[in-house]
Amino acid sequence: MKARPTWLDEGGFTATVLVLSLVGVAMIYSAGVLEVPSRITEGLWLRQGFFLGAGIVGLLLVSRFPSRMFEWAAMPAYVLAVGVLAVTLVVGSGAGTAEGVKSFLSIGGFRFQPAEAAKIATVLALAVLLARRDDPPRYLRDLLTPAALVAVPLVLVLLQPDLGTALAFVGIFFAMIFWARTPWPLIIFAASPGVALILAYSARVWSVYIVLLAIGLYLYRYRLYLVESVSVILANVAAGAVAQPLWNSLADYQRNRLLVFLDPGLDPRDAGWQLIQSKVAVGSGGLLGKGFTAGTQKRLAFIPEQHTDFIFSVLGEEFGFIGTLLLLALFGFLFLRMIRMAEAARTPFAGMFIFGILGIWFTHVFINVGMTVGVVPITGIPLPFISYGGSFLLMSWLAAATVVAVANADP
């Protein structure tokens, strides 16, 4: 053990996490300052502050754990997390606007989202799996086991259904196979069924895409087994074929969210309402914003879910472009810092793990901020360290602690 605490050794990573969390507490306080009676009580920022305290204590403890302990615990943690996710599907409960969603477990009055822990467990397990390889994946079949590892919790989360969190698992997968030095054509082929799923809204676009994909596979033919190429094509065709039934199986609100993303005016009262009001809030903030707690969109409850998924809108309204720029700069700094830590890591496991966490956070930040300004469809996904949510904040801090712990580990 070193003389200096490890968390001071990573050049501002923990400090950035702390600053982001404090901004979060402040914004949750502001989100509680309303002109109208609301179920959002003013005391929520105190609860968030309490979980922040717990996160800091957790970081001080966990960041001192030896890296081997995480590697050793990875697989049991993964199995446990998947088990709990399965149980959640049966006995879970919803919260807030998503009452019908089975994403929460309550134990003794304390509610938490098992998916948050499952994400970290999956990152641990995948890091262990990928770190064992000396060579980069060369064939698609090399990606099969990692994909299966991610797919299990992903599907369980999707069944809740929680599209936002499921997307975070996708982020984990691609961030980590990227850092595992997977050649980019393989990454593209792995992603191609997902793209096919989206492009299936137009038969013509999808047909062009399949032809381009086939050409790509043909050019890459010497590096792939034939069966793999055929599988990719089949997977894409299958994705295109299930798109319509899948679309039909979506809940109305999910379909609406996708439709209003394309045209917010389509449903200006319900799903489009959230998007429009969020854009109005952010846009009306201007360069300098309306001032802390003074946002009118927020005060008058025009912003939906203003303390959780749409907290970025509150920040945008009250601190303007300067505020949003600074926040994205903080996240940007955090991510670059993590890339640097991964680069400098002395164990393959450390780099893998850091990239997995980076995948989670980056997905969250991009989708969350993107949806408030209408760049991506509305998906219920919180902004790390900023959005209200005890278990999410705590898990994010434990993830940060693990990043610190493994980054400094000796081989």
Partner 1 sequence: MSRPLRRQRKALATRARIFVVVPLGLLVGVLFRAQVLRSSDWLLQSEENRLRSLVVPAPRGIIRDRAGRVLADNIPGYSISLVPDQPDSMLSTLGRLREHLELPDARLEELTRQIQGRPPRPILVSVDAPFDAVAALEERRSGFPRLLIQSRPKRRYPARELGAHVIGYVGEINEAELESGDFDGAEPGWIVGRSGVEATYESMLQGRPGTRYVEVDARGRIVGSFGGVGGVAEDPGTDIDLNLDLELMEWIHNIFPEGMNGSVVALDVETGGVLALYSAPSFDPNVFAGVVSTEEWNRLATDSESPLYHRAVMGKYPPGSAWKLATAAIALELGVVAPGDRMQIPCRGTFAYGNRIARCWDADGHGSLDLAGAIQHSCNVYFYQLGLRIGLERLLELGNRMGFGDQCGIDLPREVGGTFPEDVGFWQRRYNYEALEGEVLSLAIGQGPNDQTPLKMAQFLVAIARDGSAPAPTLYSEAPAREGWRLNIPPEHLAYIREGIHRVTRPGGTAHLSSLEHFDLLGKTGTAESGGGRPNHAWFIGIAGPRGGAAEIVVVALVEFGGSGSGVAAPLVAKTADYYLRGVHGIPRDTIQTLREYLMAGRNTAWATLRPAG
Name the residues that contact partner 1, by CB under 8 A. Answer: 35-36, 178-179, 181, 277, 279-287, 296-297, 300-302, 316, 320-321, 324-325, 328, 331-332, 335-336, 339-340, 342-343, 346, 351, 355, 358, 362, 365-366, 369-370, 373, 375
Nearer to partner 1, 62 or 352 (CB): 352
Smallest gap from Cβ 106 to partner 1, in A, equals 28
Smallest gap from Cβ 107 to partner 1, in A, equals 33
Smallest gap from Cβ 156 to partner 1, in A, equals 28
Smallest gap from Cβ 199 to partner 1, in A, equals 20
Residue type, 81: A
Nearer to partner 1, 115 or 358 (CB): 358
> Which residue in 188, 185, 182, 122 sits closest to 157, CA to CA?
122
Smallest gap from Cβ 144 to partner 1, in A, equals 22
The percent of the chain in helix, strand and coil, each rounded to the nearest 5, is: 70, 0, 25
Q: 93 by DSSP, 3-state: which?
A: strand
Q: Match 């798109």 to its residue by tokens.
A: 243
Smallest gap from Cβ 250 to partner 1, in A, equals 26
> No. of H helices and E strands in the chain?
15, 2
> Which residue in 403, 309, 343 sits closest to 97, CA to CA?
309
Nearer to partner 1, 234 or 328 (CB): 328
> Which residue in 136, 148, 247, 228 sits closest to 181, CA to CA?
136
Nearer to partner 1, 247 or 273 (CB): 273
| Residue 215 contacts residue 175 (beta carbons within 8 Å) | no
Smallest gap from Cβ 19 to partner 1, in A, equals 17
Nearer to partner 1, 78 or 331 (CB): 331
Packing angle, helices 271-284 and 252-262, rounded to 10: 40
Q: How far apart are CA 43 and CA 50, in angstroms?
A: 11
Nearer to partner 1, 11 or 83 (CB): 11
Nearer to partner 1, 102 or 340 (CB): 340
List 98's β-bridge partners, or say none: 95
Helix residue ranges, H only, 34-131:
44-62, 67-91, 114-131
Q: Match 């809740």 to its residue by tokens.
A: 160
Torsion of CA 282, 286, 289, 295, to 10 degrees: -50
Nearer to partner 1, 284 or 293 (CB): 284
Smallest gap from Cβ 231 to partner 1, in A, equals 26
Q: 106 by DSSP, 3-state: which?
A: strand
